[in-house]
Structure formats: structure tokens, C-alpha cells
Structure 1
Amino acid sequence: MKNSFIVIFFLIVGCNKTSQKDNINIDKIEYEVVFRENHAGVYEKLKISNTSFEYFYTYADRGRGPEYTEKITLNEHDFIINQSIEGVNYRKVPINERFTANGTAASWKNPKGDSKGEIKEDELYFRYDGSPAIYEILAQHLLKSTSNKVTLFPEGEAELVKKIPLTLKNGTALDLLMINGLDMNPTYLWMIGNEMICSISGNLHIVREDFKNFRTEMKILQDKVEDDFLIEITEKLSHSIDKVMIKNTNVLTSTGSMLFNQDVFVEDETIKAIRPSDDKVIAESIQIIDGTGKTLMPGMFDMHTHNTKFRGMLHLAGGITAVRDLANNKQLKELSAEFDNNTIIGPRIVIFSGIIDGPGPFANQRNVIQNLEEGLSEIQSYKDLGYQQIKLYSSIKPEWVKPLVDKARSLDMRVSGHIPAYMTASQAIDRGYNEIQHMNMLFLNFLSDTIDTRTPLRFTMVAKHAASLDLKSDEYLQFVDLLKSKEVLVDPTMAIFENMFVSQKGEPSPTYSEIMSRLPVISQRQFYAGGLPKTDKTSALYKRSYNNMLNVLYDLFQKDVAIVPGTDGLPGFLYHRELELYEKSGIPVAEVLKLATIKSAEITGVAENYGSIEIGKKADLILIDGNPLKNIGDIRKVEWTMKGSNMYYSKELYNAMGIKHYE
């Protein structure tokens, strides 16, 4: 399929001011795809005629990554009338998407199925999976729209919020577009006229070949625009508090019980009083909040996150005030300070974990070492930065594990992570692991130490074989005894495996079905992808495997193996589902809420100030419109979150991200 792109020879435009602007005669344009600051793939655009284009897009991420071949035909007004997309998505699920419009009659095929409908002449079809082509076409329409808006088909609307003229150091003038309505964060596109030059979204950068030497400069400029935007939102949505009385509320205690009809007084970020509600006159200087029929809880802890400046609002909107960051760059302390100072809205990062991975094609790329000596040095570097933990990843050589663990232990640092390729969990524990991330890593212990867990085999092998694990077998019971005797913490991240193993292509993922309709268009669509590739035969097997993962979760809880709720994914929403799945496994809801609050506070060493509602503790609080002890799903109904000296209304935070509130 890709051969059609190499039949035309062309001259790459040089990196100078004149040639960058004058590319009108180029029939083929190439872009480099950079992921986590490494070359990861390509994006190619081939002009067939004035209205017909072909595209190829691919990048690799540790054995995952999409590959699409795409064809688009435009009408005289540059709206899509024909589109075909073939290939595989990020998780290698086959994609075959089609769209055709004939006048107002449209038909399309995408992961949701085959559909027909009526399309208006000013509506732009927005595909489910595919290349970045749609962003360039959308930008072109937004730039000429008198309302700065474009209606998307079959649903959604995009808005050009800002067009920011910027100039590179070499004198090249570009426009940075800020677009709302597609995702939970603004979408940013770099344009020269109608041509997309670059797209920078988190770790994924797509930059035209003749501009790749300027990618870092563009990122710095975009970072400043993004920061200014977030600072502006923070100033607008942070509500300063001094003295607050939450009246007649129900208080969740540290034992998992409920105190009904209480008045809770907060002053100077501290809980000063908790008493049965009464009708005493309250000073005018005290802000009154009516908590009747609602539940006051401590802020919750997400014990597996990877924080960015954009994710902070999602955490607080979802009632999460504290997190462990289990692998990030070495600038994480700077982001944490911005969260703590309320320069940018975000949670308290109470545990900082550095990450180390070994060399190879599946390396994590955040921090890759080439030899043991580099690894030992990196551990010292993280310690010097104030990190408390080290996370080892899948490409670490097994023979490096023991000396790396010993180094970390000598610095009073915990060690956790994936189980490196060609090791078992038992072997990693014997070499000193304090905790294990992800439930699949436990199940791999019962398969083989010959599995290359750097690849997607760490998912597919578990999907195929987890159902057959006997929880009464000697092998399993001995492993649980090992977890207990070594006091190994398990961070299971159950929700991400539900999405992988149970969801079906074309159907709403059960992991997100409760909240999908609240999300922007792109966020919704990714939850129809179906997780791991499945057939009719394997779908039932994968579901049984997932159910057995839930059985193990409950068994570990019953046997007093320490477990913690964490997400490793979409903040807030995925955490709520994680807690629901804990209850689904059989863990009593009161115990689930304790795991989310006081137990996590104890594990992270901050229980003296956080994790429960007690006089003298800090007032990191959330108000729930409901009673999660009776219905764990009420945990989604966060009205507001109190952190430090500020209150944040969830509805305002969600609206700022294009998300509907739970109402």
C-alpha cells in the first residue's frame, strides 16, 4: 500500500525563509513523527489532483502504534465527499473506514458500524481513526469561517479559539491555532497559510521535514502559549476560601462508616471542628455550604499516574487531591511546585518515582540506560532530585535487577515496576522488588520466563491464559505467600485491562460507557476501538480471563496483600471505574473507599495530614452528591474539591475542558 507514495520523486524544500513559504508546486510532502523525543515514524501527503489526496501515517511505540493508508476527495468547497482509511490502530486492531457523500445523502462505515444520514453542505466529516489529514482540512475551514466554528459530521463542533502569529528565530512567520471541541485539551496546529507545518500534542510531534530542525523551538513557543492558557484558567476557576462551614453533611470516617448530619468547620486550610448539625448563628465572615443529603469525603489518592500540566484539572474535578507519579521526566518537581502553588490547577504529588529502562526497540524512551553503570548513576540522580522510588521497566536486563535494587535500597528508595523480559514476578521479588505494577504482571508469573514482556505479548498471553489459573493450586498459593512474606505492594490498574480484554470493537467500552456522552468527540470515539484484537472465539475467552483477574484481586484483598487503586490512564474518570471494579470483585464498598483515602495516605506517608476527615488535619475535601457507601457509582458526582486554600467546582473545571457535568 505504501508503494504508491514512492513513485514521485521530489526535492525536499531547504530550511530557509523563502522556500518554507513557497511549496505550492510540491506534489508530495513528508513529515517526521517524533514520539518521546525519538524518531518514531512518518506522515506522508501525496497530491493526486486539486481535490484528491493520499496519505500514509505510522509510528511505533514499544510494539504498538498505528499504520494507516488514507484517501480523501474534496468537493469544490473543500468538504470531504469520499474518504477511505485502512490499516491498524494504536493497539493493532484492523481499521477499515469509509465515507461517501452525494449531495446531502451520506453513508459511512466506522468502528460503530454502517450508517446513513443527511449531511449539510457546511458539515465536515470527522473520521474515527486515521492520519493527521483531517486536522489540516479542519484548520483550513476554521480559518475562513466567519464564526470561527465548523460543524462536524456526524456529531460535534470545533472552534478556533485563538490564531496566534509567531516568528521563528530565522524570521519565518507562522500561525499557531488553538482549537477547542475535539479533545479535553485544546488542539494546537502550526500553520503557514493553509499548510500544516507541525502538530505538537504531548509526547507526539508531527513536523514537516523542512521544519524538523525548528521543532524544539516551536515546542518552546507552544509551551508558553499553553502555560499562559492554563494560568488564565487557574486564576478564573480557583475560588479562594478562608473560613468555611459545610452544614448538615454526611461525613465518611476513616473506618468506612458514615457520620450523618454533621457541621464541618474549616479555617486556614485546616479542619477545626466536626460536630452534629445545629441551628446556632454563624458569623457573617464564615462561608456557608449546604451539604444536606450529600457526602463529605477526604480527597482521594490515585496511586498510579503520569502527570502533565493538562491532567491536573481532571484529577481535581474527579475528587483526586493526591497522586503517586510512577514515571515521568526529571522536571516533575517543577510541575509539582506549580500544582502546589496553584499556578496551574493540579493535585499534590506525594510520591515521585524515577523510571529506568534498558536498551532495545521496545524501550520506554523516557530514561534508557545502555549499561549497569548508567543505571546506578541514574538512581543516584533521582535520589538527589528528591525522588522516593525507582520504577524498572520491561527492557531492563535480568542480571541488572539485583544491583539496581541494592543501589536503590542503599539510598532508602523503594523499587517497583514491570517485570523485565525473560523474568518472572517471583524472580523480581526475590531480587528485591517492593511492589509490582499491573495485574497482568502477576499472571505472567504462571506462564513462562521465556515471554518477551517488552512486546504486546505481556497483554495477549494473559488474555489467552489467565482464565485457566487455578486459585487453589499450590503454585498460586505459594506465590501469594511470597507476596505476603516480602510485603510486596500490588498496583493492579484493573480498569485498563477491562478496556483491553472485555470491550468490543464498535461498541461502547464498559470501562467508559457511563461517561462517554459527556466527553468531546475524539475522546468518545477512542472508546469504540475494542481494546485488544479479538475474534468471536477469543472474545469469550478474554472476558473469562478478565473475570479471573477480578477473582485474584479479591483473593489478594482477602489474604491481606496490600493493593492500591491507580489508573495509569485517563485521570478522574478511569479512577472512578477502578473503584467500581474493586467492588465488583467482591471487596466491600467501605473498604474500597478506605483504600482510596486513608489507606493510600498511610502507604504514601502523609496520613498525619491527609486521607481522613479529622480535627487538625488539612482540609483536602470533596463533596459528593449522593452516598457512595450505598452506590459506589455516586463517586462520579463530585460537586467540588477543596485543596489548600482554594475550592474548585467540578462543573466549571469540566466545562473548561469541553466535558459535560454529571447532571
Structure 2
Amino acid sequence: MKHSLILLFFVIGLFTSCSNSSPSEKTVYDVVFRENVAGTYEKWQISESSFGYYYTFTDRGRGPKYSEEISLNKENFISSQSIKGVNYLNVAIEESFSGKDKIGISKNLMGTTESPFDGNKLYFRYDGSPAVYEVLAQLLLKSEEGKVDLYPEGSAELIKNIPLKLSNGTAVQLLVINGLELDPTYIWMLGDQMICKISGNLHVVRQDYSELRLKMKALQVEIEDKSLLEVAEKLSHKVDKVLVQNVNVFTVEGALLPNQDVFVEGQTISTIQPTGQAFSDSETMIIDGTGKTLMPGMFDMHVHNSKFRGLLYLAGGVTSVRDLANDKQLKNLAAQFDSNEIIGPRIVIFCGIIDGPGPFANQRNAIETLEEGLAEIQDYKDLGYQQIKLYSSIKPEWVLPLTEKAHELGMRVSGHIPAYMTATQAINQGYNEIQHINMLFLNFMSDTIDTRSPLRFTMPAQYGADLDLQSQEYLDFVELLKSKNILVDPTVAIFENMFVSQLGELSPTYAPMASRFPVIEQRGFYTGGIPKEGEQVARYQESFDKMLAVVADLFQKGVAIVPGTDGLPGFLYHRELELYVQAGIPTAEVLKMATIKSAEITGVSSVAGSIEVGKQADLILVDGNPLEDISDIRKIEWTMKGDFLFYSKELYNSLGVQYYK
């Protein structure tokens, strides 16, 4: 599809300090993460056709650092490239590419590969600086078709080229590019030079345009929102009356009721009856459910919503979520999801986050004093939030007064275990639930571990295998969880990827669906989690196996477990459920966790979580029987949320993701 040209002109404030002069010998960009300058990006010319780059930023002790060199051929495609440094998880990276004599040779985390290369495809690095985005933008602007083939596979497409004029008279272009990742890529260009790249919370902006960054961000948000409105209009199918015939219904008891007709009118389930009874209504949409399973919409109990990710939840059969940390405008996004202005799930729990001061602070909401924290809890309560999440930089002496304040307001408290505390201490000071299974393992190691740092991952990876589930210390802790009615939100799938995956090999977490994703998105499935070598490989596997054993043991002993992801919507949720079954929890119980149990915990079981007459029509049709094979939960044909029907194939394809068939 040829790229479209949209003539849009906006005026950005009265900023006159931006320089229009030629870049200096070294062009410097600010790297802004969550509205704080967190690093730098620099580029300079080495020769007529070769350039050098340096890129780094920090995020709570993590973050990449790359030195890079690129040479271009006469057509502006990369002819050679070298990258050295560390990636976001501080894994050492050494990557190179050379294309000459019609052969491309690439060395990266996938190893060394050779294949035909005629010089008119763009090598898109696995790890590195933003440089390749600028090269891609230049190529797309020159392309008559608005497409650039990638090496060794894939393509990128310029779907919009939006001319804008800044208040100082500078004419710029905002390019919208598909084909790289799930979200469109947005690049701000001044002529053939990139001046800004805004992607979620990570912004790279040329320093002479830093004062205009927020205005550019606001304009980009308007354009993003308009695009999402168009997607919602196209892919939301309004329904009034629907009859799903001859379908097997998943019941609140965790069994299948075979051969049923389920009638939905408006947003409500109105009739459930055995197949074969007379029915005639020309206005009703008839769906054949033979051999398929009708389930309630599922609940992801640990998410961080964004406007781009909403449709992935519905495509994967998730109709309700708990948001466990976001900005204070989350209610606005929830309203857009509820009205179907933007496709997304129902947000049934709003959880405000509070973190303490320091270099590892979560920048969503870091406080400097206890008094600020108490005020934040009140603010979240006034906004209608039901829960508070405390993060790793909270000072231990603040935990008790913060939890007391939240409880006085009728709010639950959950979170990470703050640095230099144990889970036992946090529970005894008011925690109602704990996020992430690693925080439970740290309880048996030390109260001197700095959980703000990557130690919260590496310590359980190295020593988790040693946890004795028959020890008195462990049994006493489980009894504490039970006596205090503590909820555990393990998110085991993210630890499988961290502990088990190997650099350069397809992660078992993503193996069932990796090939369905855009080619650049797939590369994240090969990065290997936290660094591991030698005996650590087997050791980390043993520690992950022990995590699964703990999840099963907690379930068997009556501790409430909830399925959540804290990651890739839908797909990671399916893996979370598979891992619970792998751990030994009965499949029926896992599916109940995903539906009626989560509805009960979030206080919405009177209207959701099961297929019963009078409840809201949040339904999913599964092409198979997940009670027999939990992996059938990946085979979602459609999701119904209220009076809208969403076909998974359409939702996935809109993001460049292939359907399961």
C-alpha cells in the first residue's frame, strides 16, 4: 500500500530558542525516560559515508550502553555496521554486519549467518542505538512505494507522512511506520535528519529541540488517538441479538455443559438452554459453536495498560484487568475502553503506585518524604482508586504508616518488597498481597538485599533452587500467608523468560507464538533473559522449577493465587495459565482462577466471571477444549464485550500479527 500524505499544520507554542543552524561536529540528543533525562545519544561523521554513534540511558539500575559505527552505500543502505556494549539487562553485545560481493554476513546473538545481499535491503540490528531508525526514515522518504525491504527478512512501510510547522517557522515531517513492532513507529524529521523519536515513555530528542519535546509529544498523541479511533470504528462489530448454537459451555464449577444454545440480547446473557429447542428470529446473529467452548471473558490480574495494547487483551480473550501501576489519567483511558472509543478491556481495579527516593525509583510516582506518601494515598483515593502499590525504594520505616493510611481509607496494599525488608516484615506491617514470585523467594535469603537493583532477580535465580518446601521456615511463612489472607500474584511467565531462556535461542516462554509476530518484534524473544553461563544455566532452570513447585504448593495449601502477566498482553497470559497446569494445578482450577475466582477477588462476580443468565455478555469462543488441553486457550475465535463482537484474526492482523491458524 502506498503511503498517504496528510496535510496537517499545527502551531507549537511560542518557543523561539530552537536552532536552525547546521549541526556541530557531534550532534547530541537527550534520552528522556518517564519525563526525566536518563541518558544521551550522540552521532558524528567519520568519513563521507560512515558515521559513529553512542547511546545510553538508565532505568532503575538497568539500561543499555552502545558504541556503534555505520557505513552506507550509494543508495543509503547499510553496507557495514558494528555495535559493542551491553543491552537493557546488561548483557554484553557484540554485533556486526557486512554486505559486499552480493553476500551479507551478520554476526549477532543468533550467531553468524551468510545469505545473498544485493545492497537494496536494510540490515536492521538486533541491539543498538536509534541510528537505524534515521537511516530507515531517509530510505522511506526516497521510496516511491513507501516501502523498504529489511535484511534478512521483513519490510517496513511508511503509512503516513504528516507535514507540520513549528512556531519558529521550521517545517518538519512526522513519519508513521508499520512493520517493525506491534505499535507504529513515529519519527520526527527535519529534512533528512531525525530530530525526535517518541515511543511511550522513551523519548530521544535533539538537544536544540528539547524545549519543544512536550509539544511534539502532544501532537503525536493527537495523531495516535485519531488512528486508534479509526481502528475501533473498523474492527468493533456492534451486535444486538446473538445466538451461539450447540456450544459447550464452561460452568462456574469448572466443567463443560455440552450442546447448549446461549442467547445474548443487548449486553446481557438472557437464555441458556439445551440445543434443539425451536428458535426463529431473523434479527438474531447465529453463530455455530459445534465442537467449540464458550467461556467467560478472562481476567489478567497484573497489567499496565496503554492505549495501544487494549486490543491485544481482547484478541487473547481477556475482557477484564487489574491495572497495578499507571499514571493518574488512567480513568480517562478506562472510560475510552468502556465506551469503545478505543478497543480495550474493562479496568476493574485501579492501583496507584508510590515509590521512595533514590536512583532506582520508579518515576511514575516517587516521593521524598512520608508526608508526601500519605498525601498521595489520599489523592489516589479521591480519584477512585481501590488499591496502593508500594515499590522497592520505599523506606522500610514508612511501610507501616502508609499501609495504615490506606487501610483507614478502605484501600488494599500490595507491591514489591521494599529494599532491606523481607516479605514477612511487609505482611506484618500491612501488606494485603505480594507481586511477583521472586519477592517470596527473597524472604528466605536476607533482609539486607537491595531489591531496587537487579539482585531481586539474580539472587532468586542463583539460590532459589535451595528452598526447602518442608522446612519449618517455609511452612511458617505459608501459614502466615494463609492466616493473613495474603494474595499472591506470581507472574511466573516473566521469570521463565528471565531464568530459562538462552541468548540466541528462542525463549520457551514465547516459542508457541513467536513466528506470528513482526520480524523485529520476534528478536526480543531471543535475548536470553538475565545473563547466565556455565553451571548457571542448569542452576537457573532448577530455581525456576522450584518457583513452579511453590506456586502449586501454595495453591494446594489454600493460598489465593491470581494469574497476571506484567508483560505482553494476551500471549503472556496464555503462557501463565499453561505454566500453572505444568506446575500441577488442575486445569479446571486454573480456568476458574482466570474467570470466576478473579471476578470474586475484584468484586465483580455478580456481573462477570461466569456464563449465567443475567450477567454481562463478556464471552470468548475457543476453537477447542482448554479443559483437555490448556494450550487451546490460545485459539480464541472471537471475544464479546458487552454489545460488541471482536474477531481475533482482525485484531491481530491490524498489528501485523498472524492469526493462530
Q: Please give the range of the TM-score, normalised by the shorter of the 2 chains.
A: over 0.9
Alignment of 1:610-621 (within 5 A): 610-621=608-619
Per-residue CA deviation, residues 86-128 of structure 1 (Å, 9 max, x unaligned), is 1111111111111111131111111111111101331111111
| 1:125 equivalent among 118, 123, 128 | 123
Cα separation, 2, equivalents of 1:252 and 1:268:
21
> Partner of 1:232: helix, strand, or coil?
helix
Match of 2:386 in 1: 388
Shift of 1:145: 0.5
Match of 2:83 in 1: 85
Q: Give the residue type in structure 1 aligned to 2:114.
A: K
Report if the CA contact (8 A) 1:111-1:506 is conserved: yes
> Partner of 1:189: helix, strand, or coil?
strand
Report if the CA contact (8 A) 2:413-2:432 is conserved: yes
Match of 1:30 in 2: 28
Cα separation, 1, equivalents of 2:616 and 2:500:
40
Match of 1:523 in 2: 521
Match of 1:556 in 2: 554
Shift of 1:173: 1.9
Alignment of 1:466-481 (within 5 A): 466-481=464-479
Q: Give the residue type in structure 1 aligned to 2:543.
A: S
Report if the CA contact (8 A) 1:245-1:286 is conserved: yes
Match of 1:12 in 2: none
Q: Give the residue type in structure 2 aligned to 1:642.
A: M
Question: Share of identical aligned residues, percent?
Answer: 66
Shift of 1:72: 0.6
Per-residue CA deviation, residues 612-659 of structure 1 (Å, 9 max, x unaligned), is 000110000000111101111111111110001100101001111010
> Partner of 1:122: helix, strand, or coil?
coil
Shift of 1:281: 3.9
> Partner of 1:609: helix, strand, or coil?
coil
Alignment of 1:88-167 (within 5 A): 88-167=86-165
Cα separation, 2, equivalents of 1:169 and 1:472:
69
Are 1:435 and 2:438 an aligned pair? no
Match of 1:270 in 2: 268
Shift of 1:215: 0.4
Match of 2:289 in 1: 291
Per-residue CA deviation, residues 328-351 of structure 1 (Å, 9 max, x unaligned), is 000000000000011000000000
Match of 2:227 in 1: 229
Per-residue CA deviation, residues 249-305 of structure 1 (Å, 9 max, x unaligned), is 111111110011110000011001111111624210111011111110000000000
Q: How many residues align?
A: 647
Structure 1 unaligned residues grouped into runs of 5+: 1-14
Q: Give the residue type in structure 1 aligned to 2:139.
A: H
Shift of 1:234: 0.2
> Partner of 1:495: helix, strand, or coil?
helix
Report if the CA contact (8 A) 2:99-2:119 is conserved: no
Q: Give the residue type in structure 1 aligned to 2:401.
A: P
Q: Give the residue type in structure 2 aligned to 1:659.
A: V
Cα separation, 2, equivalents of 1:203 and 1:187:
14
Q: Give the residue type in structure 1 aligned to 2:198.
A: I
Are 1:405 and 2:403 an aligned pair? yes
Are 1:426 and 2:424 an aligned pair? yes
Match of 1:48 in 2: 46
Q: Give the residue type in structure 2 aligned to 1:214.
A: L
Cα separation, 1, equivalents of 2:151 and 2:101:
14
Cα separation, 2, equivalents of 1:315 and 1:177:
27
Alignment of 1:409-558 (within 5 A): 409-558=407-556
Report if the CA contact (8 A) 2:18-2:209 is conserved: no
Shift of 1:521: 1.7
Report if the CA contact (8 A) 2:16-2:167 is conserved: no
| TM-score, L = length of structure 1 | 0.97
Report if the CA contact (8 A) 1:319-1:641 is conserved: yes
Report if the CA contact (8 A) 1:640-1:650 is conserved: yes
Report if the CA contact (8 A) 1:27-1:48 is conserved: no
Q: Give the residue type in structure 2 aligned to 1:327.
A: A
Cα separation, 2, equivalents of 1:234 and 1:605:
28
Are 1:597 and 2:561 an aligned pair? no
> Partner of 1:57: helix, strand, or coil?
strand
Are 1:189 and 2:187 an aligned pair? yes
Q: Give the residue type in structure 1 aligned to 2:188.
A: W
Cα separation, 2, equivalents of 1:139 and 1:308:
25
Cα separation, 2, equivalents of 1:336 and 1:584:
34
Pair 1:218–1:381, CA change in 2 (3 A)? same
| TM-score, L = length of structure 2 | 0.97
Report if the CA contact (8 A) 1:168-1:217 is conserved: no
Pair 1:210–1:18, CA change in 2 (3 A)? closer
Match of 2:177 in 1: 179
Cα separation, 1, equivalents of 2:164 and 2:321:
36
Are 1:644 and 2:646 an aligned pair? no
Match of 2:298 in 1: 300
Report if the CA contact (8 A) 1:390-1:408 is conserved: yes
Cα separation, 1, equivalents of 2:426 and 2:216:
42
Cα separation, 2, equivalents of 1:322 and 1:274:
23
Per-residue CA deviation, residues 449-476 of structure 1 (Å, 9 max, x unaligned), is 0000000000000100000000000000
Pair 1:17–1:400, CA change in 2 (3 A)? closer
Report if the CA contact (8 A) 2:19-2:208 is conserved: no
Pair 1:278–1:51, CA change in 2 (3 A)? same
Cα separation, 2, equivalents of 1:171 and 1:337:
37
Shift of 1:155: 1.0
Structure 2 unaligned residues grouped into runs of 5+: 1-14
Cα separation, 2, equivalents of 1:322 and 1:644:
12
Cα separation, 1, equivalents of 2:122 and 2:340:
39
Cα separation, 2, equivalents of 1:626 and 1:169:
57
> Partner of 1:343: helix, strand, or coil?
coil
Report if the CA contact (8 A) 2:60-2:359 is conserved: yes
> Partner of 2:535: helix, strand, or coil?
helix
The runs of at least 4 consecutive aligned structure 1 residues that moved more than 3 Å come to 15-19
| 2:247 equivalent among 237, 246, 249 | 249
Cα separation, 2, equivalents of 1:658 and 1:17:
40
Cα separation, 2, equivalents of 1:660 and 1:409:
46
Report if the CA contact (8 A) 1:17-1:172 is conserved: no
> Partner of 1:536: helix, strand, or coil?
coil
| 1:607 equivalent among 595, 605, 608 | 605
Cα separation, 2, equivalents of 1:509 and 1:470:
28
Match of 1:67 in 2: 65
Cα separation, 2, equivalents of 1:439 and 1:414:
19
Report if the CA contact (8 A) 2:424-2:477 is conserved: yes
Cα separation, 2, equivalents of 1:60 and 1:284:
61
Cα RMSD of the aligned pairs, angstroms, is 1.0
Shift of 1:17: 8.0
Q: Give the residue type in structure 2 aligned to 1:475.
A: E
Match of 2:571 in 1: 573
Match of 1:323 in 2: 321
Alignment of 1:339-418 (within 5 A): 339-418=337-416
Cα separation, 2, equivalents of 1:26 and 1:419:
47
Shift of 1:16: 4.8
Q: Give the residue type in structure 1 aligned to 2:72.
A: L
Match of 1:5 in 2: none
Shift of 1:18: 8.2
Cα separation, 2, equivalents of 1:427 and 1:528:
37
> Partner of 1:302: helix, strand, or coil?
strand
Cα separation, 2, equivalents of 1:149 and 1:440:
44
> Partner of 2:47: helix, strand, or coil?
coil
Q: Give the residue type in structure 2 aligned to 1:586.
A: G
| 1:199 equivalent among 186, 197, 220 | 197
Shift of 1:165: 0.8
Report if the CA contact (8 A) 1:17-1:171 is conserved: no
